[in-house]
Amino acid sequence: MNIVGARTTVVGTPWRELVFLELVTDDGRTGVSEVRMVNKTSTLLACIDELAPRHVIDTDPFDVERLSWNVLRAEYGRPEEITQSALAAFDVASWDLMGQSLGVPIWKLLGGRFRDRVPAYANGWYQSDRDPKSIASLARAVVDRGYRALKLDPFGAASAEIAAADLRQAVAIVAAVREAVGPDVQILVEMHGRFTPATAIKVAARLEPFDPAWIEEPVAPENPQATARVRAATRLPIATGERAHTMEDIRPFIEQSLVDVVQVDLTHFGGFLAMKRLAGWADAYSLLLAPHNVCGPVGTMANVHFAVATPNYKILEHFNDFADPWVQELVDAPPTVDRVDGCFAAPERPGLGVRLNHDACAKHPRTGGRITLFEHGWERREGRSQKEEGGSQKARVRRRKSDK
């Protein structure tokens, strides 16, 4: 079985673009993967187009060690967000082909069944004004949907510091959510790397009475020294890692005991092979994994397979019940969170167990949608309008014509 073709499909939403890769083999199989690139979709597509002929076409999909080495080492340039995301797309689609050829779900190849149920937490649900009553009402709906955990960023467009009134508003939001969901539901507070260490410490102290299960990226994620200052000043667990793309990126946070929950994103970290290595390393430091996941149904399914086979897995992020729920229609058998216990079930179909619905994908062309974290109202996840993106595309066309 050799890979003979690679094709990409991009689905647009108001605030994110989902990139799907399909690898086709000479015996007629198709392996699929997904990456939600952070605001750089076209760059990722260019990288896939460049690397696929070099390292994927005419190779055996079982040779993922060689694939990883080629992208990480043989390319010579240092791996980073774009190349690691392209590698993840190649890797996951290759594992899908392996599972299909052997007639088993991927988790059987990653170590077998460690758990039957994968706990999930909801994100993307707080699409309203920054009003405590409104957000508390939405939080109750999340719990009614079956989730036992939910995450929110209540800090508006704050950057570095936060105004006193905005901090009071943020604390009031978290307090209202805690009152609405009760003491047994986990509240995860996302800070998106917004704050200086001094501000993050002040914010954490104000949040402690509401017992958040973690504070996430309290300071810039590339700065272990800043994280160390927060670590020394708070009793709250710290989660970080979604913007780590290599082992070297996350190394100081693990080895210096600066993180309690490792949130590296499977689709930006090189795929299953890299994540298995990370899981073993984190386990040596008694750390849990809660991978970042802003994907649609294909990337989410990949995370479910990884979770089923990984002992030190804590919980999986999930957007698709609240932000763009129609993305579930993009595949034939999307992963779903059970309303009874807030968990995903272990997949049983061979490979990933999902196939793209190309007709459904075609209904949602690229939008230029992206996250605009430091603009007021970003939490509504309305992104850039198609009109705005169309205007920028026309400007690019005009520039290209003027260059001729």
What span, in angstroms and rounded, lies between the C-alpha atoms of 173 and 135?
7
- 176 by Cβ neighbours in 10 Å (0-12 / 13-18 / 19+) ranks as buried
Evaluate whether 235 touches 213 at the Cβ level (below 8 Å).
no
3-state SS string for 332-381: CCCCCCCCCCCEEECCCCCECCCCECHHHHHCCCCCCCCCCCCCCCHHHC
Q: Any catalytic annotation for residue 292? A: yes
Question: Minimal CA–CA distance to 137: which of 171, 187, 169, 176?
Answer: 176
Q: Which helix (H) or strand (E) holds 35?
A: strand 30-35
3-state helix, strand, coil in the chain (%, to 5): 45, 15, 40
Residues in the chain: 404
Evaluate whether 264 touches 290 at the Cβ level (below 8 Å).
no
What are residue 34's phi and psi, to 5 degrees? Answer: -150, 145
What are residue 111's phi and psi, to 5 degrees? Answer: 135, -5
What span, in angstroms and rounded, lies between the C-alpha atoms of 1 and 19?
25
CA angle 20, 332, 94 (to 5 degrees): 45
Residue 270 in tokens: 């090189």
What's the distance, CA 326 to chain centroid?
18
Q: Any catalytic annotation for residue 245? A: no
The residue annotated as part of the active site, out of 192, 245, 305, 364, is: 192
Partners of 34 in beta bridges: 20
Evaluate whether 154 touches 186 at the Cβ level (below 8 Å).
no
The residue annotated as part of the active site, out of 292, 305, 318, 364, is: 292
What span, in angstroms and rounded, lies between the C-alpha atoms of 352 and 306?
10
- Enzyme catalytic residues: 192, 292
